[in-house]
Structure formats: structure tokens, C-alpha cells
Amino acid sequence: MTSLTFSYRYLLLCFIILCTPIIYKSFHKSQVHLSVNYEPIHFTKKNVPTEYNDGKNNQLPALMNATLFMLCRNKDLSAALSSIQNVEDRFNRRYHYPWTFMNDAPFSEEFINATSAMASSNTTYVRLEQHEWGLPKGLNMNRALKTIRDMMRRSIIYGFSLSYRIMCRFNSGFFYRNSVLNNYDYYWRVEPGVIYSCDITYDPFRLLRDEKKAYGFVISLPEYPETIPTLWNTTREFIKENPQYLAPHNSLDFITDDNMGMDGEYNYCHFWSNFEIADLNFFRSDAYNDYFEYLDERFGFFYERWGDAPIHSIAASLFLNKSQLHYFEDFGYYHMPWSHCPSDYNLHANGQCICDPADTIEIQYGFCYPRWLHNMRDVNT
């Protein structure tokens, strides 16, 4: 009887994976005959303050050209509202930065009404087009499905999911090219269901501008090696062909351990990209775009399971000088299952943090934090 006890859920998943090529072809054909409106929906908030106050009657400088950004689905509404409320309470109620929401399906009226009511400023809703959210031309679906079946058999995280791969590809090379984000210089990525546990008492976008930073993070940790077996060798090939993109004061000391530069082995350290505050012009640069196109042409998002976090992190480590990276140590942040909490007493007190520093990832596991400190040892702060 034990051999006959088999998960119906597993069988259903296998059936879906095996049928994916048929489903995709049918979906693609059906879209040709549909008239779909992809125009963004703009919800303009009435009476958004034009003067900004820090709550202590101190006038704040004018806003930066920036947006809070969330990729989500209609079914994520509850988690999205939780994140919006949290970011508004901890930061945006004083600044009123606009929100941009993206989805591969049309946003529901319920989603638009609820999120626009929760936000303190204007909101924009974007339905992604097929070239942004889909499969690349030339992809061998049989090979991709073989990888999916193999990763599912080995229980590799999200290895079973085709949609997760599409999302990682979108976050790696398409989000910043959407016409709506063309209007902005900076963005703050906010995931549904995250928690910011400390007040953010300054404008992080302005910090990036004033201190000439291009990429900010809060948690660093190693990637699952099984998901990116050829990513580093592919990156080496790219740099060999494009040595001009390697920054003179790069962060190879963060992503390698052996002081061998590009000849060293990748240690899998990356910035956890479910939180990042960044200069969109970094992603728009020739270096980043050429890198993404080079990766995309090798189909590693589907023949393996390349994630946007290691791709963003490797790119930032190689193409930016280390002085252009910023660790938001004073941010309290939680995304299941990891959290960061300021351990410095003054940072914790000034931010009115409700997190426990003993739970912070750096203290519990170390992970890549020592590599970050090693990388930044010769940078004047």
C-alpha cells in the first residue's frame, strides 16, 4: 500500500508541467485575437500636500523623482495593503511619494480602490505586456521542462515553477524599461507582506542622490547553488568580452572569497532584492542592459533557475564602485523567513523600532555580512 500512496497534488503538478507547451501555445494564439488595453490606470489623489513635514515642524526638501514600486497580483490584496500601510506609517505619510503597481493581469476594481485609498499619494496600475511577462523567443520548452522536472524531483526551492522563472526574468531585465518607470530616477521595491519595523526618519532617495549612491540593500545572504550552476561562468565570459564594464573599485571582494578577481569562484553572496532602493539609471546603463541581454540569450532563467537577486547583486558588485553601494543598517525589515534589526542602540531608539536585534540575520547566521564588511574595509565612510 505504501508504494501506491501517491500525492494527487504531485500528479496534478506533473500534469500541468507536461502540458505547459500546449497551454502556452494555446494562450499565445488566443491573445492574437483579443483586443486588450494595456494603458496604465492613473489614480490621482486629491489634496496631496505640496509641502512636506517631518512631524516635528521641520520643513523638508522637495521630493526626489522617485516611486514606491510593487509587483503583485489581485489575490495579493491583503498582503499588499499590509505593506502599503506599513510603509506609509513608517515613512511615506511624511513624504507622499507615488506608488506604482504592476501585474501580468488586469488589476481588479477592488484592488485599485483599496490600494489607492491606503496610499497617501497618487497611484498607477500597469498591466504588463506579453514581451515583458512571458517566454523568450528561441526557448527550447522541452529542455526547460526537463529542468523543471529534475528540480522538482530534487526539491529545489521554486524549481517546479515556470511562473517564478518568468517573474525572475521580468525583475532582472524588464521592470525598469516599462514606460511608466521611465518617468522616474529612483525606485523602492516593496513586496506584499513585508514589515518595516523602524521609523524611516529621512528620505533614502535623497541620501542616494546626495551621497552618489546607486544601489541600496538591507539583507545579504547566499543563493542556492543548485539554481545558478552556470551563472558565474557566463558572467566571466561576459566580462572577458566586455572588460570596459568592470568598475575600477568594484566589489569582487564581496562576491568572491579567494582574492583572485574574476578568476575566483562565486561565493553565492547576494543582496536580497525583495528590498532594494536604487537609481534606475544604473539598470538603464549600457553595462547592465548588455549584461542582461547576454544572460537572456543563454536562457538560464529557464534552463536553470536564475534569480533576479544574484543578477542584480553581481551586476552592482561588478559595474559599480563599492562607494556607490549602501547598506541601510538603520532599516528594520522582515520578509519571511529573514529579518534585519538595527543592533546599534541609538539607531534602534531613534527609529522607534519594534524588532529584536537578537533576531537579526547577521547575528544569527552571519551569512554574507562578514564579506560585506571585508569588501568595505578600505572605503571612507
Whole-model pTM over 0.95? no
* Digit-coded pLDDT (tens) for 311-326: 999 999 999 999 999 9
> In the predicted model, what is the mean pLDDT of residues 159-177?
98
Task: Assess whether pLDDT exceeds 70 at residue 59.
Answer: no
Nearest CA among 168, 172, 187 for reference residue 280? 187
How many whole angstroms separate alpha carbon 218 and alpha carbon 327? 6
- Across 116-130, 281-295, 337-351, 352-366, least confident range: 352-366
For residues 107-114, average pLDDT? 97
Instruction: Tell me which of 27-31, 200-204, 215-219 is least confident.
Output: 27-31
Tens digits of residue pLDDT in 127-144:
999 999 999 999 999 999
Annotated domain spans of the chain: 66-376
Q: Which of 55-69, 100-114, 224-238 has the lowest mean pLDDT?
A: 55-69
Residue 67 pLDDT exceeds 60: yes
Q: In angstroms, rounded to a whole number, what is the distance separating the alpha carbons of residues 350 and 56?
A: 14
* pLDDT at residue 364 in the model: 80
Describe the crossing of helices 286-296 and 231-241 by its angle, rounded to 10 degrees. 130
CA distances, 227 to each of 2, 309, 355 (Å): 32, 12, 32
Superfamily of domain 66-376: Spore Coat Polysaccharide Biosynthesis Protein SpsA; Chain A (3.90.550.10)
CA proximity to 338, closest of 293, 371, 372, 369: 369
Higher pLDDT, 30 or 119: 119
pLDDT score of 50: 61
Candidates 132, 276, 304, 362; catalytic one: 276
Give the pLDDT band (50/70/90) at residue 47.
Answer: confident
**Alpha helices of 269-368 — where are they, by DSSP H?**
280-283, 286-296, 300-303, 308-319, 345-350, 361-364
| Residue 33: per-residue pLDDT | 33
Residue 2 has pLDDT above 70, yes or no: no
User: Is 276 assigned a catalytic role?
Assistant: yes
